[in-house]
Amino acid sequence: MTAPVSDRGRKAARLGLGLLLLAMALVAIALLSLTTGARAIPAETVWGALTAYDPASTEHRIIQDLRLPRTIVGLLVGAALGLAGAVLQGATRNPLADPSILGINAGAALAVVLGVAFFGMTQLSTYVWLAFIGAGAAMLVVYAVASLGREGATPVKLALAGAAITAVLQSIINAILLTSPRTLDEVRFWQVGSLAGRSIDIVFQVAPFLALGAVLALATARLLDGLSMGDDVARALGQRIGLSRGLAGLAAVILAGAATAAAGPIAFVGLTVPHVARAVTGPGYRWILPYSMVMAPILLLGADVVGRVISPPGEVQVGIVTAFIGAPFFIALVRRRKLAAL
Amino acid sequence: MFRISALALCLLAGTALPSFAQAWSYTGGDGETVTLDAVPTRIIAHQDAAAGLIPLGIRPVGIYADSPIEAAKALEGLDLTGIEIVGTAWSEVDIEKVAALDPDLIIGEWWDRNGAWSGGADVEAALAPLAPLTGVAASDSIVGMIEEYEELAASLGADLDDLAIARSKADFEAARAGFQAATAAKPDLKAVAVYAGADAIYFADPAGAAELLDLRSWGLDLISPEGVDAAGNNYFETVSWENADKYPADLILVDNRSASTLQTALAQPTWTLNPGAAAGQVTDWPAFWLRNYAAYAGELEKLTAAINAADPDLAP
Amino acid sequence: MSIALDTSRISRARSRAAARRHAVAGGLAAALVLGFAAALYLGDYPVPLDGVIRSLFSPLTGLTDRGIDFIVLQVRLPRAILALLSGAAFALAGIIFQTLLRNPLASPDIIGIAHGASAAAVFSIIILGWSGLSVSLGAFGGAVLTALAIYLLAWRNGVTAYRVVLIGIGMAAMLAAIISYLFTRARLNEVQQAMAWLVGSLNASRPGDIVVLGGAMLVLVPAMIALLRGLDAMELGDDTARALGARVEINRLGLMLVAVGFAAFATAAVGPVGFVAFVSGPLARALLKGAGRGFLHASLVGALVMLVSDLLAQHLLPNTQLPVGVVTGACGALFLLWLLMASGRSGRVN
């Protein structure tokens, strides 16, 4: 932001090139995701499964039924979480803001737990709608509570309301899980966050929401830049604070809700990727948002690939690996650089 | 009011005073012997112990369960009227309700593998001041455990020659004979027991499940997975759904503690990679919960029917 | 405007603030006494009011009734005392971290210390097959080691609040992943046992826990009060505080150690009971309306939240006893939400 005007173009070119390189890395990771798994399948067989599908071949079935859907889900969910995290941190100006802090994960989890415990729903495809509705409802309540009072939804009130709603929801979840081992047994696997077992139907269910959310999120970049100057400055510049926060919140809930619906609650990605993106791009959401959107699926899919091969013959869920790859990296980054405060 | 405190007084005093007549004594699965002045009548039982004792005519005054009663598979079909439920979650028990019931004896199950009584150490610590705790040990045969429950019930005054008890034992013997005949008729039939999760398929090691060891001893060729998962106390091998055909079998037994496990299995695209699953040769695995002859007979009949209907030449 | 008028206005404001502090403290203390009495009286084992009183004085009077004495003196009393002590300890841990790190989200249950205790406890339950006291020791070690790791990782020519918070949540994510992993690899019964521990319960209130936690607080509370003087300077901001030199850094480190001690001892005694640490500080400050830092008041709020939550957990649902941690979240959070809705100004809830 302090760079002289003459440097702006050079900076944009540099950041654009960086984004292109990241996109290429993402394509490479996606290809790796298709060719890597608990079962060794040669690359030409993978190609064959994509171009000339033979339902009689076990290998082709594994590519088409398992690896392709989980790769697509990984790309979509990763992008959504990265964007949602960046938008939420910008809108609340709190470095700790992420879907789990603002009640979205807990809302989704409670809806799934209620569905399993009282309506006998046990299949991933039914979880999707439940999780989406739960996430949306929780975020709405958080926003409504935070908006009460003269000042409207200030960052501190949003964060506190989110944490409070999360605690209420988590209490109900715990009460149900403690008294219904059957539900605990079902939900403990969903709660880790995983890309395994996601069918192509789930992609079709969540893709429209993710597209809508992504467009909305990218469109809020200028508003977030305004908010980052502080409410008073932004208001003085003629920005409508409440409307900006509302739009950003809407984008975040659509993205995070759909992502959680598809993959379960994955806490780490949305929280940390925006910090990494900000460390590369500097302030300015015009670049932070697209960087987060590309970096997050690299982390998510990369973690998923590692999880598939790390403990044969089983797999480690992606939610666990992202934390184990991401956290040390994140900690090192926090130590090395003076991260910009929000 | 007076009655309750007077009884409690006797109870608490009873543990301190020397006993004159050793009217009842039992050596539990943990190797400790419990000795009481009189045959205990007010018993608080863990759900699994209750499932072993109630069919033998020993009715506890209270049951502590690991879950809400309707979800406790072991208690399915048993008449629980008049029995107070003093716990509905693992490691939680309502100490005041237990105290108000004036128990003479607590009966749980000893898990040598974990070195703990059923319900966990918290339950043990909470109940210990109120009455002595004993019970049979979880072992490597359900039949063996049922026989230990018979011995315990007899010491508590059960009449094992009762017509209904004898009949359910005879039903079980008939079901077991039928099962043995079915496995003998199909010596090549290979079976494997699984739990299905959305993330992975879990192949059970029969060495960790008493009922699977029983079935194997009665002629069922059950596959033992090669690498069991040490983190899960060696009960299962966790396998990616990409390798659902790692242990091809003619008959697949699916954990039936919850009906949703089978639904989860059926929803996986690669479930049918395993030949038994592709041919629909799938039946129930009564995992870890059998404690009496009546329930065992019912599960054996299902298994026998599945074996009789199965094609034994699918798996290589 | 004359100076005399000004000072009299200031002194009037001061005395108003003092009155408010005393009123809030008095109200909270009264509520605590009521809650404590209810905790001794209510229960499934019928004990009349005079029975409770006779039991409490039985060590002096010698009038005993062993059935009632067992329930009152060995079940209800230790449970209520442990609720008070652990609630106060969680609250102090929370308000110290929130104040030092200047972020209302930065309580030990969010920045990783509770996660360290939890991961160690779940590991000792599921992998090592431990239970009871050894799990508590494991949890204590986990909390202290995690706090140490966060501090060392955040150290770079001193620590900044921002770095501690971010590294804390990084550690929290990793530790939460360990817990999730263990949950998917264990038998359901062990998961249930671990889950019950994670929620936090007063059910297994052992006299030993009270002695250890009470003893720790006898050391930690005076240490906290001594260190709090330095905190005033720190609240002005890092830059101002830095100008005051190394003494502040030592104060800060000392206070963090005290807060870790509160969190670790309380967690070892009752498990990582959720939200008490998070909510007590903001609640106390909201009640005070700017009339003080609220450390004492926060500890009263924490004890009250814990005590009331345990009463609700035991008696709210017929035939179902829930562990206290299920209710603290809901109870504390509803209170906080009410405050958020009632207060027009966000600054008050901070």
CATH number at residue B197: 3.40.50.1980
Asked whether residue B182 falls in the same domain as residue B241, the answer is: yes
C-alpha neighbours within 13 Å on the C-beta side of residue B264:
30
Classify burial at B119, counting beta carbons within 10 Å of its beta carbon; exposed 0-12, middle 13-18, buried 19 or more.
buried
Q: Is residue A132 part of a domain?
A: yes
pLDDT for residue B13:
43
C70, B129: Cβ pair inside 8 Å?
yes
Q: How far apart are the C-alpha atoms of A132 and A118, rounded to whole Å?
A: 18
Asked, for residue A42, whether it belongs to a domain, the answer is no
The residue ranking higher by pLDDT, A334 or C202, is C202
Residue with tokens 């070195």: B115
Is C323 in the B-facing interface, judged by CB distances under 8 Å? yes
Mention every residue, 6+ apart, whose C-beta is less than 8 A from residue A182: A116, A117, B67, B71, B257, B258, B260
Interhelix angle C188-199/C161-185, rounded to 10 degrees, is 150
Kindly tell me if the per-residue pLDDT of C239 is higher than 90.
Answer: no
Cβ atoms of C267 and C325 within 8 Å: the answer is: no
Nearest to A199 among B71, B263, B269 (CB): B269
Report cis status (omega within 30 of 0) of the bond before A313: yes
Pairing of strands B201-204, B190-196: antiparallel
Q: How high does pLDDT run on average in chain B? A: 88
Q: What pLDDT score was predicted for residue A265?
A: 83
Give the count of domains, chain A: 1
DSSP structural state of residue B205:
P
Instruction: State whether A170 and C329 contact (CB < 8 Å).
Output: yes
CB contacts < 8 Å between B and C, how many?
Answer: 99
User: How many other β-carbons are positioned within 10 Å of the β-carbon of residue A15?
Assistant: 18
| List of chain B residues whose C-beta atoms are within 8 Å of the C-beta of residue C74 | 129
pLDDT digits (tens, 9 = 90+) for C122-168: 998 888 877 778 888 999 999 999 999 998 998 887 777 778 877 88
**∠ at Cα C335 (C331, C341), nearest 5°?**
145
Phi-psi sector, C275: left (phi>0), alpha (psi -120 to 50), beta: left
Between B115, B125, B235, which is nearest C129 by CB?
B115
Taking residues A95-100, report their average pLDDT.
73
B133 and B89 in a single domain? The answer is yes
Is the predicted pLDDT of residue B286 greater than 70, yes or no? Answer: yes
pLDDT tops 50 at residue C69 = yes
Does C71 contact B129 at a Cβ distance shorter than 8 Å?
no
Confidence label for C240 from pLDDT (cuts 50, 70 and 90): low
Domain that holds residue B272: 165-309
Averaged pLDDT of chain A: 84
* CB neighbour list of residue B129: distance below 8 Å, 6 or more residues apart: C70, C74
Model confidence at B33: pLDDT above 60: yes
Give how far B168 is from chain A: nearest CA, Å. Answer: 29
User: Is B273–A61 a contact, with Cβ atoms under 8 angstroms apart?
Assistant: yes
Provide long-range contacts, Cβ within 8 A and 24+ apart, for A304-310: A304/A33, A304/A70, A304/A74, A304/A195, A305/A29, A305/A32, A305/A33, A305/A36, A308/A36, A308/A37, A308/A38, A308/B240, A309/A36, A309/A37, A309/A38
- What are the start-end ranges of the H helices in chain A? 5-35, 43-51, 58-62, 68-92, 104-119, 124-147, 155-179, 181-190, 200-219, 221-227, 231-236, 241-263, 267-281, 285-310, 318-336
Looking up tokens 């809806």 gives A111
Q: For residue A157, is it within any domain?
A: yes
For residue C154, the model assigns a pLDDT of 87
> What does the pLDDT look like over B200-223, one tens digit per residue?
899 999 998 999 999 999 999 999
Which DSSP letter does residue A94 get? -
Q: Which of B127, B159, B191 is the last residue of a domain?
A: B159
User: Does the structure show a pLDDT above 80 at B280?
Assistant: yes
Same domain membership, residue B43 and residue B128: yes
Which of C150, C164, C174 should be substituted to probe chain A, the one whose Cβ sees the most A Cβ atoms within 10 Å?
Answer: C174
Residues B224 and B88 in one domain: no
**Least confident segment among A5-9, A338-342, C9-13, C220-224:** A338-342
- Averaged pLDDT, B17-42: 83
Q: Is the pLDDT of residue B3 over 70?
A: no
Q: What's the pLDDT score for residue C172?
A: 84
Instruction: Please report the DSSP string for A221-256 in residue order.
Output: HHHHHHHTT-HHHHHHTT--HHHHHHHHHHHHHHHH
Q: Which of B226, B238, B235, B230 lies closest to B287 in space, CA to CA?
A: B235
Main-chain phi, psi angles of C56, to 5 degrees? -60, -35
For the residues A278-287, what does the mean pLDDT come to? 89
Identify the residue with better confidence: A103 or B270: B270
What pLDDT score does B72 carry? 87
CATH number of C43-349: 1.10.3470.10
Q: Please tell me the predicted confidence (pLDDT) of residue C60.
A: 83
Q: Specify the CATH number for the domain of residue A237.
A: 1.10.3470.10
Residue A103: how many CB atoms within 10 A of its CB?
Answer: 32
Query: What are the pLDDT digits (tens) for C252-311?
Result: 888 989 999 999 999 989 988 878 998 899 889 888 887 778 899 999 999 999 999 999
Q: Do A184 and C334 touch (CB under 8 A)?
A: no
Is residue A143 situated within a structural domain? Answer: yes
Q: Which residues of C182-205 are buried (b: 16+ CB within 10 A; e: fewer)?
A: bbbbbbbbbbbbbbbbbbbbbbbb
Number of structural domains found in chain B? 2
Q: Is residue B315 part of a domain?
A: no
d(CA C324, CA C335): 16
Chain B residues within an 8 Å CB radius of A199? 269
**Per-residue confidence at B170, pLDDT binned at 50, 70, 90?**
very high
Give the pLDDT of residue A149: 65
At C235, is the pLDDT very low, low, confident or very high (cuts 50, 70, 90)?
Answer: low
Query: Two tokens at A330?
Result: 């994140």
Q: Can you name the residues that pair with B285 across neighbouring β-strands?
A: B255
Q: What is the pLDDT of residues A24-71, one digit of tens each?
A: 999 999 999 999 988 889 999 999 999 989 888 889 999 999 999 999
Residue of C nearest to B229 (CA): C185
Q: Which domain holds residue A121?
A: 76-336
181-220 in A: which are within 8 Å (CB) of C? 181, 184-185, 188-189, 191-193
pLDDT at residue C232, rounded to an integer: 64
- SS3 assignment, position A171: helix
Tell me, yes or no, if the pTM score tops 0.90: no
Q: Is the pLDDT of residue A90 over 70?
A: yes
Residue B124 and residue B185 in one domain: no
- Selecting from B90, B197, B258 the residue whose C-beta is nearest the C-beta of A189 gives B197
Residue of C nearest to B117 (CA): C131
Question: Residue A121: pLDDT above 80?
Answer: no
Q: Is the pLDDT of residue B105 over 80?
A: yes
Report the pLDDT value the prediction gives residue B217, as an integer from 0 to 100.
97
Q: Which of A303-307, A318-322, B22-26 has the lowest mean pLDDT?
A: B22-26
Domains of chain C, residue spans: 43-349
Does B242 contact A38 at a Cβ distance shorter than 8 Å?
Answer: yes
Lowest-confidence range among B177-186, C32-41, C103-112, C208-217?
Answer: C103-112
> For residue B190, what pLDDT is reported?
96
Q: Which tens digits make up the pLDDT trace of B267-278?
A: 888 999 999 999
Is C184 in the B-facing interface, judged by CB distances under 8 Å? yes
Q: Are residues B281 and B190 in the same domain?
A: yes
| Residues belonging to chain B with any Cβ–Cβ distance to chain A shorter than 8 Å | 66-68, 71, 88-90, 92, 197-200, 227, 229, 237-243, 245-246, 257-258, 260, 263-264, 267-270, 273
Mean pLDDT to the nearest integer, A130-153: 80
- Most confident of the ranges A51-55, A92-96, A329-333: A51-55
What are the chain A neighbours of C279 within 8 Å (beta carbons)?
A: 164, 167
Of residues A313 and B29, which shows the higher confidence score? B29
Choose between C181 and C84: higher pLDDT: C84
Residue C244: predicted pLDDT: 58
CB within 8 Å: A315 and B200: yes
Query: Chain C interface, mutation test: which of B73, B101, B233, most C Cβ atoms within 10 Å?
Result: B233
| Rounded Cα gap, residues A229 and A248, in angstroms | 16
Distance from the Cα of A331 to chain B's closest Cα (Å) equals: 28
C349 band by pLDDT with thresholds 50, 70 and 90: very low
Q: Kindly report the CA angle at C172 between C168 and C173, in degrees rounded to 5?
A: 120
A65/B260 Cβ within 8 A = no
From the CA atom positions of chain C, what is the Rg in Å? 21
Considering the domain architecture, whether residues B153 and B16 belong to the same structural domain is answered as yes
Contact B133, B279 (CB under 8 A): no
pLDDT of residue C220: 95
B90/C206 CB distance under 8 A: no
CB contact under 8 A, A37 and B260: no
Q: According to the model, what pLDDT value does residue C84 have? A: 96
**Could you read off the pLDDT of A164-199 as tens digits, one per residue?**
788 788 878 888 888 787 788 778 878 888 888 888
Mean pLDDT across A316-340: 78
Using a CB-CB cut-off of 8 Å, the residues of chain A touching B229 are: 314
Is residue B314 a part of any domain in this protein? no
Residue whose C-alpha is closest to residue A298's, from A316, A258, A325: A325
Task: Name which of C324, C317, C311 is nearest C43 in CA terms.
Answer: C311
Query: How many angstroms away from the CA of A150 is the closest CA of chain C?
Result: 5
